[in-house]
Structure 1
Amino acid sequence: MRILHSSDWHLGQHFIGKSRAAEHAAFLRWLVAQINELKVDALLVAGDIFDTATPPSYARELYNQFIVDLQPTGCHLVILGGNHDSPAVLAESKQLLAKLHTSVVPAIPAEPAEQLLILKNSAGQPGCLLGAVPFLRSRDLLQSQAGQSGQQKQQDLQQAIARHYQQLFQLAQQYNQQHRLQLPVVMTGHLTTVGVSQSESVRDIYIGTLEAFSASAFPPADYIALGHIHQAQQLNSSNDIRYSGSPIPLSFDEARQQKLLWLIEFNEQQKTVSPVNIPCFQPLASIKTDIAGLTSAVAQVLTTLPKDSLAPDARLWLELVISSVDGYLSDLQPRVEQLLSELPVELLRLRRERSSSDNSLPQLEQTSLAELAPADVWQARLSNESLDELQQRQLTILHHQVLAQVQDASNNIAKPDGSSL
């Protein structure tokens, strides 16, 4: 039985005004080829298929086309909902996709047994039991109780998540006992666990109620495939618990990470897990330098990029952090643009390095709008209002819908040659 663990595709993401559509399309083509080459029986995508609750049409097209392209491989695709995903959007095609060898678990079903999937090997025999756990929303697990402290809410949510996993694991054990089998048990999840390394693009999903779930609270499954954290890593735990991370860097601090998938192989009573490195489809770099050393610093980064990561017409997406001495120059932007004009780079973000004296300034005064994603601005605006969790969630959904419509429209603006941007 061969299983590929992936997560956090974030189809439809915009990165400082740049669409990731080309990168995602390249990744999905590469992924189909890898599934063919490695003879993968099942692909798990542990949440955040889309970047927003209302993904633009081109993101849905990528998703649907991937499922079509995957059909000749015979691979069983399992889609789990994440905190960025709308359960309704994922559920709308669930029944149709079931006919295309695809299982979609957008949220907790009414019956826990519906989350227990039997994955078959290349011979068509049961090869693994999957506890398909999506992002667990507190409202799906708990009833709100008046007068509870924040600490009590956090404890209740921790316990509810742990109970859900234990219940599903027990169902898997019962299945093995009833059928006199010893199938390995794999479980999924979309949450933050204690001790993981995070990046700028990861946002809190249990604001004020759950900072991180304890790895010791997971049941003793043979493998636990997690999503939400964008850096691939294995937890220091008695269980085999891993994050696959995002397939492309979603922020500049992820630029140096080797993006990967985990390949899990069960052979009789043996299990092996190995990384499958994902190629770079669009290089990013963040460079700290002064004006004098800018050209050489950028040139040095260009020489370290994989030879196949820069096509003849491709350009490095660049963030420049200029030293505080040069950061106050009135003509900083034109100077930088002039120095970069002959290099295969595109400057997406220019900011000055903050000195220790900047700590006395309010945070909004330290940060330029160009440094913020739309979600950052939205969260900063929400923080100034006295709203409960439900109101914040409802307003955030509306904000996602409007933002998606704007981004979708910008991707369909016609160019002079008649094609779309």
Structure 2
Amino acid sequence: MRILHTSDWHIGRTFHGHSTLAALAEVLDALVAQVREHGVDVVIIAGDVFDSATPAASAYTLLDDALVALHETGATVIMTSGNHDSAARLGFHSRLLRDGIHVLTDPLAIATPVTVHDAHGPVQFFGIPYLEPAIVRQHWSERGDADAEVAPPPLRTQAQVMHHAMALVREGMAANTGRSVAIAHCFAAGVDVTVGLEREVRQGGLDMVPLTSFDGPDYVALGHIHGRQQLSNRVRYSGAPLHYSFGEQHKERGSWLVDLDADGVASVAWLALPVPRALVTLTGTLDEILADDNVAQHLDDWVCAVYTDAVPQHEPMRRLRERFPFCALVQHQPEGADAVDDRSYSQRLRTAVTDVERIEAFLEHVRAGQGASEREAELIREVLDDRVRAEALV
């Protein structure tokens, strides 16, 4: 059996205020072509189908178009919900969908697989929707043996609810013969945190699920991380099909193509997807960034401009967009700013005695640590001296 593992479509997300629908539609068309070209039997979408719990109508239209196109290839589609999705909305029409398209959003049905057959027999697909502990623990309050001497731990963390969900998967595996695939949306231990985490994973600490929680299935298709990751030969993240931040610009976009034989995973290959518009970060003074060579190379790219001038420049975004139509982000990071002390503005003011020191503290605050230049310091002293003389005449 041949499986295509994708995730984190985030239909409806914007990129620095720009719609991504057209770009994502182009990428999903390429994904459908790959499904057809490689004779894929099952397409897995491991959560975060939408970017919002209340998607716009245009987002539903794009999803419908993609699902219809995938269905027309002859592949079975199995989709779960992520933390960005509303499980209720995503799963609302699941019973009405045509044969071969399955939307798995019910935590009470985790142990009930979708069964797909090949020449070697059945393959059981277990879908685990994103599990919010505060919501799902009410469904599993009766878990465990009532006569057991030790009560099971409370379900308060993502790791605890995923451990219980995977126990349900293993129960389902025991009750249904054949090979097995689990689909989940979470942050698994062992992930490289440089690849682009979800923006709201957890403030104040990452709630990680141990890799051992996924023991059992022949393959585990994960979503939630936007860069591809291989935690083991049988546990992987596919990442998002489109770049959604400049932090992801150097990460390939694509899907995992997984072949199962009679014994489990036979091979896994990476299928790269096209990038509709490349992302680039240009660093230097504003004049250096606006140089003709840069414009010639990056005229059609999404541009993040990090300019290093000592002081903020006038209307940098307007000037940049005159040269780079797709400039999406401007950041001011003066050279040498990291070398200044770490005192706050209020702390600097408290230690300032003279007006010159107070002005210097203000300039360092608004110019990322860059104080007055020699000529500026001279002008400041002249202005202050003129003020003193004027007050003396009153």
- TM-score normalised by the chain length of structure 1: 0.71
Report what 2:388 is aligned to: none
SS for the counterpart of 1:272 is strand
Report what 2:111 is aligned to: 113
Task: Map 1:37-186; keep pairs closer than 5 Å.
Answer: 37-97=37-97, 99-108=98-107, 110-114=108-112, 116-121=113-118, 126-143=121-138, 157-176=158-177, 183-186=178-181
Structure 2 unaligned residues grouped into runs of 5+: 142-152, 346-364, 367-394
SS for the counterpart of 1:293 is helix
Q: Mark the CA change 1:156 to 1:35 in structure 2 (over 3 Å): closer, same or farther.
A: closer
Q: Mark the CA change 1:117 to 1:333 in structure 2 (over 3 Å): closer, same or farther.
A: closer
Matched, 1:346 2:347: no
The CA distance in 2 between the partners of 1:201 and 1:214, in whole Å, is 17
The CA distance in 2 between the partners of 1:24 and 1:186, in whole Å, is 27
The CA distance in 2 between the partners of 1:31 and 1:334, in whole Å, is 36
The one-letter code sitting in structure 1 at the alignment partner of 2:306 is V
Bigger-Rg structure (1/2): 2
The CA distance in 2 between the partners of 1:142 and 1:207, in whole Å, is 22
Q: Mark the CA change 1:335 to 1:37 in structure 2 (over 3 Å): closer, same or farther.
A: closer
SS for the counterpart of 2:125 is strand
Report what 1:247 is aligned to: 241
1:281: how far off?
1.4
**Contact 1:4–1:44 under 8 Å retained in 2:** yes
**Contact 1:153–1:209 under 8 Å retained in 2:** no
The one-letter code sitting in structure 2 at the alignment partner of 1:284 is L
Matched, 1:196 2:181: no
SS for the counterpart of 1:286 is strand
The CA distance in 1 between the partners of 2:261 and 2:78, in whole Å, is 21
1:349: how far off?
1.3
Report what 2:312 is aligned to: 328
Matched, 1:30 2:26: no
**Contact 1:2–1:41 under 8 Å retained in 2:** yes
SS for the counterpart of 1:51 is coil
1:358: how far off?
8.7
More divergent stretch after superposition (8-17 vs 199-208): 199-208
| Percent identity of paired positions between Structure 1 and Structure 2 | 28
SS for the counterpart of 2:198 is coil
**Contact 1:40–1:75 under 8 Å retained in 2:** yes
1:57: how far off?
0.7
Matched, 1:218 2:217: no
Structure 1 unaligned residues grouped into runs of 5+: 146-151, 177-182, 303-313, 367-421
1:263: how far off?
0.4
The one-letter code sitting in structure 1 at the alignment partner of 2:63 is Y
Kindly provide the CA deviation profile for residues 86-123 of structure 1, in whole angstroms up to 9, marking residues without a partner as x. Answer: 012112211111x2410101231x34433x121233x6
1:324: how far off?
4.4
The CA distance in 2 between the partners of 1:243 and 1:225, in whole Å, is 6
The CA distance in 2 between the partners of 1:351 and 1:83, in whole Å, is 30
**Contact 1:131–1:169 under 8 Å retained in 2:** no
Report what 1:230 is aligned to: 226
**Contact 1:8–1:246 under 8 Å retained in 2:** yes
Q: Mark the CA change 1:27 to 1:15 in structure 2 (over 3 Å): closer, same or farther.
A: same
Kindly provide the CA deviation profile for residues 279-328 of structure 1, in whole angstroms up to 9, marking residues without a partner as x. Answer: 111222222222342126635854xxxxxxxxxxx831111010142x52
**Contact 2:158–2:207 under 8 Å retained in 1:** no
Kindly provide the CA deviation profile for residues 112-163 of structure 1, in whole angstroms up to 9, marking residues without a partner as x. Answer: 433x121233x6x744211211211213432599xxxxxx978765233212
**Contact 1:81–1:107 under 8 Å retained in 2:** no
The one-letter code sitting in structure 2 at the alignment partner of 1:169 is R
**Contact 1:158–1:210 under 8 Å retained in 2:** no
The CA distance in 1 between the partners of 2:316 and 2:204, in whole Å, is 41
**Contact 1:201–1:250 under 8 Å retained in 2:** no
SS for the counterpart of 2:111 is helix
The one-letter code sitting in structure 2 at the alignment partner of 1:84 is H
The one-letter code sitting in structure 2 at the alignment partner of 1:249 is H
- TM-score normalised by the chain length of structure 2: 0.76
The CA distance in 2 between the partners of 1:358 and 1:65, in whole Å, is 55
SS for the counterpart of 2:176 is helix
SS for the counterpart of 1:113 is coil
The CA distance in 2 between the partners of 1:359 and 1:59, in whole Å, is 45
1:167: how far off?
2.3
Q: Mark the CA change 1:174 to 1:106 in structure 2 (over 3 Å): closer, same or farther.
A: closer
Matched, 1:21 2:21: yes
**Contact 1:83–1:205 under 8 Å retained in 2:** no
The CA distance in 2 between the partners of 1:60 and 1:331, in whole Å, is 38
The one-letter code sitting in structure 2 at the alignment partner of 1:14 is T
The CA distance in 2 between the partners of 1:333 and 1:208, in whole Å, is 33
